Amino acid sequence: MTDVVSLLGQIEDTGRDPRGPGYVRPGYSRVERELRDWFIAEAESRGFDVEIDHNGITWAWVTAPGENAVVTGSHLDSVPGGGEFDGPLGVASALAAVDQLRESGRLARARRPLAIAVFPEEEGSRFGLSCLGSRLLTGAVGPKRALALTDERGDTFADVLRSHGLDPERVGRDDERLGRIGSFLELHVEQGVGLVRTDQPVAIGSSIIGHGRWHIRYEGEGNHAGTTPMAQRADPVVAAARIIGDIPTIVGRYDGAVATVGRTRVHPGGTNVIASAMDLWLDIRHPDDEVVQDVIEEIARRARDRASGAGYRGHDVQVTVDQESYSPTTHFGADLTQRLSALLPDAPLQASGAGHDAGILAAHVPSAMLYVRNPTGVSHAPEEACEDDDARAGVIALADALAMELGVEGDGEGGAGPGGAGRADGQGDEEHRA
């Protein structure tokens, strides 16, 4: 059995940010592929059958594939400058939890198939659309739109898929694979301080709050920084800076709402060049979807108002606002969540401000989440943390939750016993494919 801490140790040097602490593990990149290869090697060394589906999702079948499967997993990509645990903790914990199930004999008695799934481009850091793999699987994004997405270099998602040996013609909703999932459980590092002041290492997800992304483009007039009088400029950077400065005040009027501009791009980008255009990307979140709508409408209105005075006669700065994605507030199914609460009675229920593949899958299959305490409460930054003992407690909780779903609650008494077959594929178990 491999400890979750040593599993994470095996990848701690993969994708380190060359600019400083933290990680850069973009979706569908060489680094994500290296991490995926690590996962595949770990899965195959345990005897699991591994397949990469048409959408680039990696499936490791712990048992023989089948209907009504229990699936656990997470992602391996990161935001730029991300932490060590957002994603990989869930993948490493899945491997470690399955090891525990096997060693305790519970896996050999499993009444349902079991698989681990690793979803690509969960962060949407490369192509702008979060949870790209699970959105494609479920049809939450169609292939036409997805294939046309471009990264910073201008490479289309279609091109990048090809370079990964995947066929763009075959991406998209996969009812057969989706239909096999009977329940999905994702373990994830906590991305806030909810557990920090408690004595609990693990929480259960209740909901994921609604969140959307918008692209705001400002277009002005490029010109010379030295020869253009201040009164004769249509500078998109000035207009964009005005709205960025206004956002905290606008959003502050909506209790519980958050909005962030975390990425900007100035065209063409020269110190002595008045920009011709500026792009900014806005992330807005609130549990009430109508509030998110109100916030973006107010920001868009204000952006246009504030830009109208940013140019000079006849050369106003133009603003366009495009929604790139929206995921409404998702409540995890009461049935699975209640059973998890009964299994882990001390674990608090938590709403999450962060998005997850489980939130996308929840619209189609019973899904649930476990969060593992993060002592700093910081995430999407190098300071993200997880104590070793908490990570181990998370694995025990996940193993017990999987056992509950597999219909083998208890400590494994009466099972095949520790150190059973390298592969527990349920052959001979009549109920396995029920």
Which residues in this chain contact ligand GLV in the complex, by CB under 6 A? Answer: 123, 130, 354-355
**Phi-psi category of residue 390: left, alpha or beta, with phi > 0 → left and psi -120 to 50 → alpha:** alpha
- Residue 131 or 317: the one with the smaller Cβ distance to ligand GLV is 131
CB of 77 to ligand GLV, least distance (A): 10
Q: What residue 87 binds from Mn ion, ligand GLV, none (CB within 5 to 8 A, per partner kind)? A: Mn ion
Q: Is 236 in the site for Mn ion (CB under 5 A)?
A: no
Which of 123, 104, 120, 113 has its CA nearest to residue 71?
113
CB of 285 to ligand GLV, least distance (A): 8
Which residues partner with 186 through β-bridges?
369
What would the two tokens of residue 311 be?
């140019």
Q: What residue 121 binds from Mn ion, ligand GLV, none (CB within 5 to 8 A, per partner kind)? A: none
Sequence-distant (≥ 6) Cβ neighbours of residue 163 within 8 angstroms: none
Q: Is 87 in the site for Mn ion (CB under 5 A)?
A: yes
What would the two tokens of residue 130 be?
């979060």
- Residue 134 or 138: the one with the smaller Cβ distance to Mn ion is 134
Q: Is 86 in the site for Mn ion (CB under 5 A)?
A: yes
Beta carbons of 60 and 40 less than 8 angstroms apart: yes
Q: What residue 130 binds from ligand GLV, Mn ion, none (CB within 5 to 8 A, per partner kind)? A: ligand GLV
**Half-sphere exposure of residue 299: CA atoms within 13 angstroms, side-chain side:** 38
- Residue 54 or 356: the one with the smaller Cβ distance to ligand GLV is 356
> Which strand (E) or helix (H) includes residue 424?
none
Stretch that binds Mn ion, among 80-88, 227-235, 240-248, 301-309 (CB under 5 A): 80-88
CB of 16 to ligand GLV, least distance (A): 19
- Residue 317 or 354: the one with the smaller Cβ distance to ligand GLV is 354
CB of 57 to Mn ion, least distance (A): 15
* Residue 259 DSSP SS3: strand
**Phi-psi category of residue 250: left, alpha or beta, with phi > 0 → left and psi -120 to 50 → alpha:** alpha
Q: Is 415 in the site for Mn ion (CB under 5 A)?
A: no
- Residue 283 or 405: the one with the smaller Cβ distance to Mn ion is 283
- Residue 195 or 239: the one with the smaller Cβ distance to Mn ion is 195
Sequence-distant (≥ 6) Cβ neighbours of residue 198 within 8 angstroms: 348, 373
- Residue 31 or 354: the one with the smaller Cβ distance to ligand GLV is 354
CB of 207 to ligand GLV, least distance (A): 13
In 3-state terms the chain splits into helix, strand, coil percentages (rounded to 5) of 35, 25, 45
* Residue 120 DSSP SS3: coil
Cα 222 to its chain centre, rounded Å, is: 37
Q: What residue 194 binds from Mn ion, ligand GLV, none (CB within 5 to 8 A, per partner kind)? A: none
Interacting residue ranges for Mn ion, rule: CB under 5 A: 86-87
